[in-house]
Amino acid sequence: MIELIDEAFTGPSWHGPSLLGSIRGLTETEAAWRPGKGRHNIWELIVHAAYWKYIVRRRLTRQREERFPVKGSNWFIRPLKGRAWKEDVGLLLEQHELLRDVILRYPESALTRPVGSGRQTAGYVIRGIAAHDLYHAGQIRLLKRLQTGRPV
């Protein structure tokens, strides 16, 4: 499971850039660019990805007291006055490492047990967060191409 989430997040992977690879070298201005009114930008995708790493970690640990470091849930409007792009990239890195630590300690025998209030198993949500990273890595590649007109 660690290999799966790490390939999706940091790579290397056969399919193309990982989530982290898709934002390498981006400036704050590029991350804040929107393809149209009411559309998400790359910056918002990154905070959204950090949030879902937090949610998966909470489901795996059944821990309810901790709050996500940014006020709100799921989608977070960016840029936000007083908050820098690099801070939010740092938040993504932090949430990945915290999730990674939980998965490393997670008993293999528990991967088929339900987590949270639904029927989703631990293995299912871990595979899901890796797929989530890859989905948004693809979106970011498309946004970069739309923004520059050049292949990315």
Select from 27, 60, 62, 49 the least CA-distant residue to 129. 49
Cα 21 to Cα 110: distance, rounded to the nearest angstrom: 31
Place of tokens 């949610």: 55
Q: What is the pLDDT of residue 126?
A: 97
Q: Domains along the chain? A: 2-148 (1.20.120.450)
Predicted local distance difference test score (pLDDT) of residue 14: 79
Give the pLDDT of the chain (152 residues) as one tens digit per residue. Answer: 999 999 999 998 877 889 999 999 999 999 999 999 999 999 999 999 999 999 999 999 988 888 999 999 999 999 888 789 999 999 999 999 999 999 999 999 999 999 977 789 999 999 999 999 999 999 999 999 999 887 66
- Residue whose C-alpha is closest to residue 89's, from 14, 21, 1: 21
- Bridge partners (DSSP) of residue 121 are 114
Contact 141, 17 (CB under 8 A): yes
Is the Cβ–Cβ distance between 121 and 113 less than 8 Å? yes
Beta bridge partners of 147: none
Q: In terms of C-beta density within 10 A (0-12 exposed, 13-18 middle, 19 or more buried), how is residue 115 classed? A: buried
Are the beta carbons of 92 and 47 closer than 8 angstroms?
Answer: yes
Residue whose tokens read 């990945």 = 96
